[in-house]
Amino acid sequence: MTAPAPLDGILVADFSRVLAGPLATMTLADLGARVVKVERPGAGDDTRAWGPPWSTRAADPEGDAQSATYFEGVNRNKESVALDLKDPADLTRARRLAALADVVIENFLPGTLERIGLGYDDVARENPGVIYVSITGFGSAGGAQIPGYDFIVQAIGGLMHITGAPDGDPMKVGVALVDVLTGKDAVIGVLAALRRREATGEGSRIEVSLLSSLQGALANQAAAHLGAGVSPTRMGNMHPSIAPYELLQCADGPLAIACGNDAQFGKLTAALGIPDLAQDGRFRTNADRVAHRPALRDALEAALAAASAADWQERLTAVGVPAGQAGDIADGLAYASRLGLEPTIEVTAADGSSRGRQVRHPVLWEPPFEPPRRAAPALDEHGDAIRSWLDA
């Protein structure tokens, strides 16, 4: 038997675009909330045009030529209405939507929505229980007018400084990770605010910035700076505090090996046929291994050269040593499928036809509920019905 969706009955007014905000609202939609996405007439969310790659349906001459995979990946389970916030009638509809919503999420430059009567104070006056979330790049004070792009935040916030080869340039992460982290932080804030409203009846104003979310995610690297005065630098695939914890070469390619304690290192050396290495004074403890990392790498790679990365992954995993081949995204999804994690879902159009597969929401529930699986909407797909509802 399936249970009701956790956020069933919650209405979200989505005034966000690009990635952090849409990811947050899609997460709420995956959990059962009704999400109404407000888009610009004629153009919609910027990411509708961020291709290639284009979705399979967009590649079809009869399909939606505005829809890129970027857009579709963070906008499923939503309704789309095109409203021109410079048009008095559409602005009235937008205000009405905000007045009805449990949650409002926006990522305009600070001050923009205040000037048209859609800021927090305006909305809360009509809707005192509203949870109003503003997503910014650099906050609403000194950084209010700085556009928030993930790439820029990775550079300014120090993430690029600790990413890449030691002798190379600072390097961005291969996905817009700061946007993703910020979207998840926004969801945490919304869920906490919903719980507080349930207890007190009070709404909340929430602000989350890309820079703050990045800095909150720097974890041990920020702690090293603040607690020990250490300035972390780029180390490629090596870990600043653990060894071995990096890619090591096997007979046919690299293998990621992560030994988080001395016991795992002992199992690693035994499996590699070099058990005496664990008793070598240079490698007896983790601190010793970090201090003698180059010599350790040479010894391990000499043993790993005897077999393939796939063979070593199987052998090491069997004895409790964390190890994995460096594959691509397709390899990762296939591996998750073999483990029974069911990493993807099929999404469908309003008529029930398939619109391909997407990565599912990562949380599993017990008792289970059946999450919606609607494909991202076409621009203004639900516009007539929503305008009629807001005009009533």
> What is d(CA 320, CA 310) in angstroms, rounded to the nearest whole number?
16
Residue 362: is its pLDDT beyond 70? yes
Q: What is the mean pLDDT of residues 11-19?
A: 98
Size of the chain in residues:
392
Q: Please report, rounded to a whole number, the percentage of residues in the chain having pLDDT higher than 90.
A: 91
Q: Give the count of beta carbons closer than 10 Å to the beta carbon of residue 252.
A: 13
Per-residue pLDDT at 229: 96
Omega prior to 244 cis, within 30 of 0: yes
Q: What is the mean pLDDT of residues 51-61?
A: 68
- Fold for the domain defined by 245-337: formyl-coa transferase, domain 3 (3.30.1540)
From 61-65, 157-161, 227-231, 333-337, the region with the lowest mean pLDDT = 61-65
> What is d(CA 233, CA 189) in angstroms, rounded to the nearest whole number?
32
Q: What is the mean pLDDT of residues 79-90?
A: 98
Residue 61: is its pLDDT beyond 50? no
Query: What DSSP character marks residue 120?
Result: H
Name the β-bridge partners of 134: 106, 207
Residue 300: is its pLDDT beyond 80? yes
Q: What is the mean pLDDT of residues 28-33?
A: 97
Residue 59: is its pLDDT beyond 50? no
- The Cβ-side half-sphere exposure at 331, using a 13 Å CA radius, reads 6
Residue 222: is its pLDDT beyond 70? yes
> What is d(CA 190, CA 195) in angstroms, rounded to the nearest whole number?
9
| pLDDT single digits (tens) 258-294 | 999 999 999 999 999 999 999 999 999 999 999 999 9
**pTM for the whole structure:** 0.93
Per-residue pLDDT at 321: 98
Q: What is the mean pLDDT of residues 63-89?
A: 89
| DSSP annotation string for 180-213 | HHHHHHHHHHHHHHHHHHHHH---EEEEEEHHHH
Residue 338: is its pLDDT beyond 50? yes
Q: Which residues are catalytic?
A: 179
Q: What are the sequence ranges of the domains in the chain? A: 11-217+343-391, 245-337
- Fold for the domain defined by 11-217+343-391: Rossmann fold (3.40.50)
| pLDDT single digits (tens) 186-199 | 999 999 999 999 99
| φ and ψ at residue 199, rounded to 5 degrees | -85, -35
- The Cβ-side half-sphere exposure at 350, using a 13 Å CA radius, reads 7
| pLDDT single digits (tens) 317-331 | 999 999 999 999 999
Per-residue pLDDT at 57: 59
Q: What is the mean pLDDT of residues 342-358?
A: 93
Q: What is the mean pLDDT of residues 157-162?
A: 97
Comparison of pLDDT for 89 and 364, the residue scoring more: 89
Q: What is the mean pLDDT of residues 354-365?
A: 92
Q: Please report, rounded to a whole number, the percentage of residues in the chain having pLDDT higher than 70.
A: 97
Per-residue pLDDT at 205: 98
Per-residue pLDDT at 67: 76
Per-residue pLDDT at 253: 95
Per-residue pLDDT at 3: 87
> What is d(CA 200, CA 197) in angstroms, rounded to the nearest whole number?
5
Element (H, E) at 60: none
Per-residue pLDDT at 296: 98
Per-residue pLDDT at 1: 67
